[in-house]
A and B are shown apart, each in its own frame.
Chain A
Amino acid sequence: MKNSKKVLVIDDGAHIRRVMELKLRKGGYEVITAMNGEEGLNLIASQQPDVVITDILMPRLDGQSLCKETDHLKEKRPFLTIVITNRISPDDRSWINEMRDTQLMEKPFSPSRVLACIDEYFCDE
């Protein structure tokens, strides 16, 4: 059941993508990656991932815009978004609270906690 879940990792850092890919594969998920928000947006449309993990500060399209542009999709097809951020901004929490099924994690983040968070999301289903 878990095996069929698809996770999209969007980050401009190759090392972050690689680490998350490894961790999530080992956790039994299918993983696709994108290196900026624009590419991520296209993959969300074409691949319909069950989970999107995204950075905030990225070239082309930032994580915040990505979340805002994809939020309406969750009305028909809910999916989990995990926003991982390095920037210190008290505002982040407030706009994230307005998004459906969206969680914030701060860097330095723990890959195993991200995995646990995803597991928990599907647990509730």
Chain B
Amino acid sequence: MMKDSDRFHGFLSSLSGISELDFQVWDANGLLFLSGPDRAGEVDLEDSQAFSAHIINQGSYQRASGHGRPPMLGAPIKYEQQTIGALIAYEPNSRPESRSENDPPGKTYDAKEMETFLTNLANLMGETWANQKDMEEMAVELSQNFEELSLHARISTHLRSLKFSGTMVSALIEELQETLRVDLSFVRMPKRQEYNAMVSATGLSDRISDQKAFVDNLIGRIPGATPSLEQDYFIVNDSRTVPEFRQLHPEQYRFLAIKVGHDSHFDGWLGLVSFNMKEIFRQGELRLLQSMAKQISVLLANMDLYHELQHFVINMVKSLVYAIEAKDIYTRGHSERVNRYAMLMAERLKLDKTEKEILNWASILHDIGKIGIPESVLNKPGSLDDEEFRIIKGHPEKGYNILEPLEQISECLPGVLHHHERYDGRGHPHGLKGEDIPFLARIIAVADTFDAITSSRAYRSSKSPEEALAIMDQAAGTQLSPDLVEVFKDVFATVLKQEFESTHDEQGCGDKAIETTHRTRRR
């Protein structure tokens, strides 16, 4: 309020210069303005302070006798019926520069005129102060609207992103905490704890030592049914007025919780807590939070659908794997073992999450094409004739054709199609050479070879892992990618060797035993 009288100071100074009067402006806290500061010594400020207090107290025009000097005159400065200041006018003792010879000293103005003049001037000042205060409040509100609008824009950007994650919930509620200037914002979803998040203003830990427990308590005390809950929110405007909430903290606070959910589906709560009781929760904020809570919920539901679909595809693919294993008794467990070896190699190769995911599916499904090969060929003991061999060799392409319609696993197709390519270019189906063979297909080829040698087939019995490694060493550079053979040997030495040995000790060196053990381990 102080600064707002500034614009009158110039005016009062000029007025003082052309009249016989000096002016003072006071508010309840003290002197705001004094005209003719060089004559300040001539007035007793203690007297005028008492006089201003008297005017503010009375709220009406006052005269104070001047101890032999002309009296001090004062009008109240009002704002919405309240007196918030005083405008005081008086004749200084000496004004040599403006006093002409003819003027009698201490000329007094017409009392009635003076009262009207000062009262009008004080009213004008009061109105200006009021206008400025209104303007200020409007600007504050406008500023708040700007913040909310900007928050809206940022939030919808977040929510448009498909990869909705727990960190995004944190980012959202952090934006809320900052923009709405609350002390605590949180999301609590009992069945989706990975999305739970809490952001607090700095210094809140002084007030609440265990914020998580505090939030749990708040949510625990939301009643089962109140009218506002039909609109999906619950509000405590003043914790002192609600016993259950008063108990939670000695200080006064306000609490707003919005249901995260859509239709009749309930996910959890989005909540705000503030200890600033000068502010209130506003309609605009409520609407913002409601739309945010709804969007989060719809997003979660979409993700559920997406995951369900994903799950469906995964299960379907698994059935396919079981289907070939049912047909080909010798490759039972093969796909899972190749998958395990390939994933161990991926770990060693530090592949990223996406690549691992693709390799996971490609390695599980690499032999899926065998589903289209007659059992008589698959399980034939002894050597195959040319025609039978041609049929067997067709399984990568068959696999490719079987999987092609499944969009979700399209990225693993190259791994399936090319797992029988050879590093020297003499493989099938395309005769790709060296680095032209897709990387993941080369990994599968190595894992596949190791398992083929170490397990028994219709046409031969199994060999020991050490023998297998020796054979693979020889095949490095011709059949297999040399660097990947090295990676596999590393994986074998650090992880697999021990497993093979313990299997040997416990169960003897039978293929079935290895197979069962590996199958068990995978589960």
- Give residues in A with beta carbon < 8 Å to B: 15, 18-19, 21-23, 106, 108-113
Report whether A109 and B140 are in contact in the complex, using a CB–CB cutoff of 8 Å: no
- Contacts A19-B139, A23-B143 aside, 16 further interface pairs with beta carbons under 8 A come to A18-B139, A19-B142, A21-B139, A22-B139, A22-B140, A22-B143, A106-B153, A108-B149, A108-B150, A109-B146, A109-B150, A110-B146, A110-B151, A110-B179, A112-B179, A113-B150
Chain B nearest Cβ from A2, distance in angstroms: 19
**Which partner residue on chain A sits nearest B135 by CB separation?**
A18
A22 and B153 CA atoms in complex are apart in Å by 23
Chain A residue with Cβ nearest B151: A110
Is B501 an interface position by the 8 A CB rule?
A: no
Q: Which residues of A contact B139 (CB under 8 A)?
A: 15, 18-19, 21-22
For A19, the chain B residues whose CB sits under 8 A away are 139, 142-143, 146
| Number of interface residues, chain B, beta carbon within 8 A | 15
Q: Which residues of A contact B467 (CB under 8 A)?
A: none
Provided the pairs A15-B142, A18-B142, A19-B142 are in contact, do residues A110 and B136 lie with their beta carbons within 8 angstroms? no
Are A112 and B140 neighbours in the complex by a CB distance under 8 Å?
no
With a cutoff of 8 Å between Cβ atoms, the chain B residues found around residue A113 in the complex are: 150
Q: Mark B130-141, 1 if CB is under 8 A from A, else 0.
A: 000001100110
Contacts A18-B142, A19-B142, A22-B140: A110 and B135 contacting too (C-beta < 8 A)?
A: no
Q: Which residues of B contact A (CB under 8 A)?
A: 135-136, 139-140, 142-143, 146-147, 149-153, 178-179
In-complex Cβ contact of A110 among B140, B142, B147 (8 A): B147
- Give complex CA distance A124, B147 in Å: 25
The CA of A101 and the CA of B355, in the complex, are separated in Å by 41
* CB-defined contacts of B136 to chain A, threshold 8 Å: 22
Q: In angstroms, how far is the closest chain A Cβ from the Cβ of B82?
A: 24
Please name the residue on chain B nearest to A106 by beta carbon. B153
When distances are taken between beta carbons in the complex, the residues of chain A under 8 Å from B150 are: 108-110, 113
Bound form: Cα–Cα A111–B179 in Å: 10
Contact partners of B153 in chain A: CB under 8 A:
106, 108
Sample of 9 A–B contacts (CB below 8 Å): A18-B139, A19-B142, A19-B143, A22-B136, A108-B146, A108-B152, A109-B150, A110-B150, A111-B143
Residue of A nearest to B3 (CB): A25
Q: Which 9 A-B pairs have the closest CB atoms?
A: A110-B150, A108-B149, A108-B150, A22-B139, A19-B143, A18-B139, A111-B143, A19-B142, A110-B147
Residue of B136, B150, B151 most packed against chain A (CB within 10 A): B150
Q: How far is the CA of A21 from the CA of B132 in the complex (A)?
A: 14
**By the criterion CB–CB under 8 Å, are B135 and A112 in contact?**
no
CB contact between B147 and one of A15, A21, A112 (< 8 Å): that residue: A112
Closest to A112 in B: B147
Give, as a whole number of angstroms, the nearest-CB distance from A71 to chain B: 27
Query: What is the minimal beta-carbon distance from A109 to any residue of chain B, in angstroms?
Result: 6
Nearest CB on B from A48, distance (A): 24
**Cα–Cα, bound, A18→B136 (Å):** 9
CB distance from B153 to the nearest CB of A (A): 5
Q: Give the residues in chain B near A111, CB-CB below 8 Å.
A: 143, 146-147
How many angstroms between the C-alpha atoms of A109 and B153 in the bound complex? 9
Q: Tell me, in angstroms, the Cα distance from A14 to B146 when the chains sit together.
A: 14
- The answer for the CA separation of A45 and B65 in the assembled complex, in Å, is 55
**Chain B's nearest CB lies how many Å from the CB of A15?**
6
Residues in B whose Cβ lies below 8 Å from that of A18: 135, 139, 142
Distance of A109 Cα from B179 Cα, bound (Å): 12
Specify which chain B residues have a CB less than 8 angstroms from the CB of A106 in the assembled complex.
Answer: 153
A87-B367 Cα distance, complex, nearest whole Å: 56
Q: CA of A111 to CA of B149 in the docked complex: distance in angstroms? A: 11
In the assembly, what is the distance between CA of A100 and CA of B263, in Å? 52
Closest to B181 in A: A112
A21 to B146 alpha-carbon distance, docked (Å): 14
